[in-house]
Amino acid sequence: MADAALFEFLHMEMVAELWAHHSDPGPGGQKTSLSVLEGMGFRVGQALGERLPQETLAFREELDVLKFLCKDLWVAVFQKQMDSLRTNHQGTYVLQDNSFPLLIRMASGPQYLEEAPKFLAFTCGLLRGTLSTLGIKSLVTASVASLPTCKFQVVIQKT
């Protein structure tokens, strides 16, 4: 439990610090901050992927990799499993978390909805970095329709 609180506090401070230094309210300042957060998440995701046991790295199907992210990786980082995984079987996956831990504290009102993207950039990078370590090039985006529910869309990039 203490690990979760420490991670949430660290994440909150990273977001606050980046927004304090890149306080440009325009799209350029926000894009820079989101890019930095996503890059940090990517590196953490790579490191997590590198620490996986070798048998974990032997997935045969993309769907198996995404199931691993929804169950094992999510539990390791957020102490809970992802709520749902959907796919169109053409390389696009939607992962939904109905009570995303990094958004729960903001869920007290709809006025915080526009602030949500900055709290999701790190996690998008985390997913993309882990997938990269597992040999899958992807694009990960996040959306929030109502707090604290969020959806991560993973688009596998075929090479």
Indicate the length of the chain as a whole number.
159
Whether the predicted pLDDT of 1 surpasses 70: no
pLDDT in tens, 110-122: 677 877 888 899 9
How far is the CA of 51 from the CAs of 57, 58, 59, 81, in angstroms? 10, 14, 15, 19
- Please tell me whether residue 81 adopts helix, strand or coil conformation: coil
Residue 152 structure tokens? 């991560």
d(C-alpha 115, C-alpha 59), whole Å:
36
4-14 pLDDT, tens digit per residue, is: 677 676 767 77
User: Could you tell me if 19 and 32 are in contact, meaning their C-beta atoms sit under 8 angstroms apart?
Assistant: no
**How does pLDDT run across 3-56, given as a tens digit for each residue?**
767 767 676 777 777 767 655 555 555 677 788 889 999 999 999 888 876 666
The token pair that represents 60 in the structure block: 């045969």
Chain centroid to Cα 8, Å, comes to 13
